Structure 1
Amino acid sequence: MEALYERLLRLQIRYVPRHIAVIQDGNRRFAKTHGMQNAEGHKLGADTTEKVLDWASELGIKYITLYAFSTENFRRETDELDALFSLFKEKFRAVMADERVHRNKIRVQMIGDRSLLPADLLQTVKEAEETTREYTGYYVNIALAYGGRNEIVHAARSILREVKDGLLTAGDIDADLVEGHLNRGMHIPPVDLIVRTGNDCRTSNFLPWLANGHESAVYFCAPYWPSFRKIDLLRAMRVYDQRMRLKERLQNRNAE
């Protein structure tokens, strides 16, 4: 029945989002509900992430940004942080050996404050980025040590430095310039759809410029991230499709 429902959902979707941003929430609550340690919940969440990347590729989603670790997450207990950083290293190392990454030409990039990461994790991230640097089939952006306001602050500092050095004038500053400094040379288009799991209806300071600034669609769902299914992704895509169809009707009405 689930496979049939997936097919029915897929038939309802005409507009496929180019860029989806996912807030992977609920690993710890899933673990608590099932009598597990937090580390096991994070591990199961990482397994779900791999499945979602396969689904996104299959469905034609070219860009996906995953909110893996926020600046606020540094407040967690040391043992949990160590386990998370170890898991991140393991997954970034796996990228370099994953034949799916090379077959599908998937470029892996990190967004976030690199100065906050442990040196060994940062080195592994750089190696994964370098290995996939020339790929243009799909883009997977991992948000680590990420905070939306922090990102804007860093962009503002970068622009001010260039103004001070005489490379820019105040008149040069516009939306495109700011967006370029936010992306730091990475090609990341505006977000079409934000998905948040875990039954928490907020976007948590995630990609405020690329998502909120471009009026992206938002889909909140109840399952904790380890329980997220392809059906949930398709339901999220249906929300985006409905939004785009409404825009199309309004444009056609205004053109009459």
Structure 2
Amino acid sequence: MLRSGVEPLYERYLKWQVKHVPRHVAVIQDGNRRFAREQGLDTAIGHRLGADATEQVLDWACELGVQHITLYTFSTENFRRDSAELESLFLLFREKFAAILRDKRVHRNRIRVQMIGDRSLLPDELLTTIDAAEEATRDYSDYFINIALAYGGRNEIVHAARSILDEVRQGAIDPAAIDPATVEAHLNRGAPIPPVDLIIRTGNDYRTSNFLPWLANGHESAVYFCAPFWPAFRKIDLLRAMRVYDQRMRLKERVARGS
């Protein structure tokens, strides 16, 4: 009872502290399975509770002014899980992408949704649903949600290199003109994704797990690790993460002023 009364006050305090809002937040959604085990629930229920948490966090991000959010939903390494869990996950992904078509929040807030990752690894039925969601939001540009499915950072850079080499062979790119902007332009063929300002990882694990190495680590983004498993992630946790980014920006400003 005391906690429910204090949390809104603490949220307001954290909001007051955050003066610099990150443009692009990337989230490693860790802990669905461990949350389910702790609660005595089936793994599939843990993933569904995690999906519910995702929708809530997206609402908070829009409310707080975060324009771009990238969610590490399923990595290339996750394909090692057993077939029953994979089937359950792919069904959940299809349901959530299909729901985008009728989600009033998506269309009211003009949110563009796109997948990043290796499409060749995903089932055709899931890809068809993803394509429909991307097409339905293609003309939106107020907010951007990038869903990382079948994603691996090193794999992404390898694909970008292959794409650049193809264009070099075709004469479309001068090898001497290749620079960091060239690589970024080939990382993803959908809407351009800006550098990551803040990475959040839940589940009390202190690593970034091959997530957006070019856009995040290459741009020295702020990183916030927290203990709650993803289904238990709160608005307070998001605001605490944003405070870490704010502190980093304030430090940069002080350095720039020479103070």
TM-score bin (small chain): over 0.9
The answer on 1:220 being equivalent to 2:203 is: no
Aligned residue pairs, count: 254
Does 2:83 correspond to 1:82?
no
Q: 2:23 aligns with which of 18, 27, 33?
A: 18
2:104 is aligned, of 95, 99, 108, to 99
Q: Distance in 2 between matches of 1:108 and 1:74?
A: 23
1:191-234: CA deviations, max 9, x gaps?
A: 00000000000000000000000000000000000000000000
1: CA distance, partners of 2:12 / 2:188: 36
Deviation per CA, 1:83-105, whole angstroms, max 9, x where unpaired?
00000000000011000000000
TM-score with structure 2 setting the length = 0.97
| Alignment equivalent of 2:121, drawn from 112, 116, 119 | 116
Measure, in 1, the Cα distance between the counterparts of 2:125 and 2:190.
Answer: 23
Per-residue deviation, 1:185: 4.2
Which 5+ residue runs of structure 2 have no aligned equivalent? 1-5
Counterparts of 2:230 and 2:8 in 1: how far apart (Å)? 20
- Counterpart of 1:148 in structure 2 is 153
Query: Cα distance, 1:128 vs. partner?
Result: 0.0
**Worse overlay, 181-190 or 221-230:** 181-190
Show the counterpart of 1:240: 245
SS state at 1:186 partner? coil
Aligned positions of 1:22-171 closer than 5 A = 22-171=27-176
Distance 2:153 2:207 in 1: 13
In structure 1, distance between residues paired with 2:38 and 2:90 = 23
Q: Which residue of 1 aligns with 2:3?
A: none
Unaligned runs of 5+ in 1: none
Once residues 217 and 197 of structure 1 are traced to their aligned partners in structure 2, the CA distance between those partners, rounded to angstroms, is: 15
Match of 1:173 in 2: 178
Residue in structure 1 matched with residue 208 of structure 2 by the alignment: 203
What is the root-mean-square deviation of aligned Cα atoms in Å? 0.7
Could you list the per-position Cα deviations for residues 145-187 of structure 1 after superposition, in whole angstroms to 9, with x for gaps in the alignment? Answer: 0000000000000011111112122112110000000022422
CA distance in 2, matches of 1:8, 1:168: 51
Amino acid at match of 2:238: L
* Percent identical residues: 71
For residues 9-61 of structure 1, what are the alpha-carbon distances to aligned partners after superposition, in whole Å with 9 as ceiling and x for unaligned?
00000000000000000000000111111100000000000000000000000
Q: Take 1:130 and 1:172, find their aligned partners in 2: how far apart are those partners? A: 33
| CA distance in 2 between partners of 1:179 and 1:79 (Å) | 36
CA distance in 2, matches of 1:241, 1:166: 44
Match of 1:191 among 196, 202, 205: 196
What SS class does the counterpart of residue 97 from structure 1 fall into?
Answer: coil
In 2: Cα distance, 1:185 partner to 1:230 partner: 29
Letter of the aligned partner of 1:19 in structure 2? H
* Cα offset, 1:137, TM superposition: 1.0
Q: Give yes or no for contact 2:114–2:190 (8 Å, CA) kept in 1.
A: no
